[in-house]
Structures are given as C-alpha cells and as structure tokens.
Amino acid sequence: MKGIRFKFSLLLVILSVLGITGCSDKEDESLYSKWENCLDNHKGNYAFDNQGRCFGDGGGISQENFEKMVAGHGWKNYGTWEIDESGKRLPDDFYKNVYGVNPANFYFAEGNKITTYRKDDSKANSMLSNTQSYIFDGRYEGVPRSVILLEKGTYMQITGWDLGIHPSFCAVYPLGLKRNNKEVYGVSIFVQMTEKELKEFQDACKL
C-alpha cells in the first residue's frame, strides 16, 4: 500500500513539473509570436543610413509612455537576432553562435542613467556593469523614431512596446561587435525584470 502511495505521489510530482514546463514553453512561444512581425520589421527590410546606422520602421514609444513603462525598471534580454547587411533579420538567436560575448540587460534609473549588465564569463555567477547617461529623442533627426541616445555616439531605437502581464519592448541597436570593419546590428526583445531579478543582477556585480 505504501509502495502504491509513493508511486502515485511521484506521478503527481512528475505531472506537475511537466505542467509547469509546458506553461513556460507556451509563454515563451506566445512572446516570440507576439513580436515576430515587429522583429521582421513589418515584412520590410531594416534601413541603413549613409553612416551605416541601422533603423527599423514604426512602433516607437512617446516620452510619456517611456517614463511610465521603461524608466525605473530592469530589462532582461529575451532574445537577440542579427540584422544582415541587406536589412534582413537572421533566424537564429545571435548569442547561441557567439562565444565570449553575452547579451546586454538594462536598468533605466532616475536622472536619465542607464546601467548595462552582462554576464562575466571569467568569474562564476558575476556580472559586468557599466552606467552612463542617456537622452530620449522621440523625433530623431527629424524622423518620428524613438531613440535612446547613449554616450560615445551609440544608440538604441525602440520599435515596439507592450504593457501587458509581462511588459516587454523591441529594440534595434549596435551589438558592440564589428565584422569587416562594420558595426553588427541586431534586434532584441527585452522583458521587464521583477525587483528580485534586478537585485540579483546588481548583487552579482559586487562579487
């Protein structure tokens, strides 16, 4: 009898784990599906200007909504896809094929400060961080684009946002790598961190 009860309890545990995994997979699938059209630049090519900078179409966010949704929160990288020189998004997650470089995660603090967090491969469970000032420009160079201007001339363009159960936004930006002396650009989905997740990122930087 005890053996039957044990097996039944074990079965319930297995089923509950499978149920949790299945739910997580569905959430991941729905998040990608929700952003797929935006990631593909609404079925058009991403555009490179005469300075080699890459921009996407539409989407955007007003400064008012940016301050309500994005500012004051941490944002973890859900996925990043490279944009090739013809302006097409490549199908595979960029960081699955790159070694020694990890995706960026962000915290937009008060006073127009942004902190970037990246996993530090040289030290277990630690993060590298960098804080700099930023400027929000909702009409960059006369074009209706939501661009976050960073120091040293870098930028991030928000091409879409969603304030749902799991707030998230889509952004185009240089990935900090060069190929054939040209900046490599990508498009990413960022999901809002919980306060606990943000603290874990911050604490990891102290190790």
Which CATH number is 121's domain given?
Answer: 2.40.128
Q: How many other β-carbons are positioned within 10 Å of the β-carbon of residue 15?
A: 10
Q: How many other β-carbons are positioned within 10 Å of the β-carbon of residue 178?
A: 10
Under a CB-based contact definition with an 8 Å cutoff, are residues 128 and 122 in contact? Answer: no
Which one-letter DSSP state was computed for residue 101? -
Under a CB-based contact definition with an 8 Å cutoff, are residues 48 and 87 in contact? Answer: yes
Q: Nearest 5°: phi and psi at 202?
A: -65, -40
Highest average pLDDT, of 6-10, 20-24, 123-127, 182-186, comes from 182-186
Total domains in the chain come to 1
User: Where is pLDDT greater, at 26 or 136?
Assistant: 136
Average pLDDT over all residues of the chain: 85
Give the chain's count of helices (H) and strands (E).
3, 11
Burial of 162 (0-12, 13-18, 19+ CB in 10 A): middle
Under a CB-based contact definition with an 8 Å cutoff, are residues 132 and 150 in contact? Answer: yes
Residue with the two structure tokens 């996925």:
79
Residue 14: domain span: 5-204
Give the mean pLDDT of 32-60. Answer: 92
125 Rama sector, left if φ>0, alpha if ψ -120 to 50, beta otherwise: left
Supply the pLDDT for residue 28: 54
Residue 7 pLDDT exceeds 90: no
Residue 94 pLDDT exceeds 80: yes
Q: CA-to-CA distance for 37 and 123, rounded, in angstroms? A: 37
**To which H or E segment does residue 63 belong?**
helix 63-69
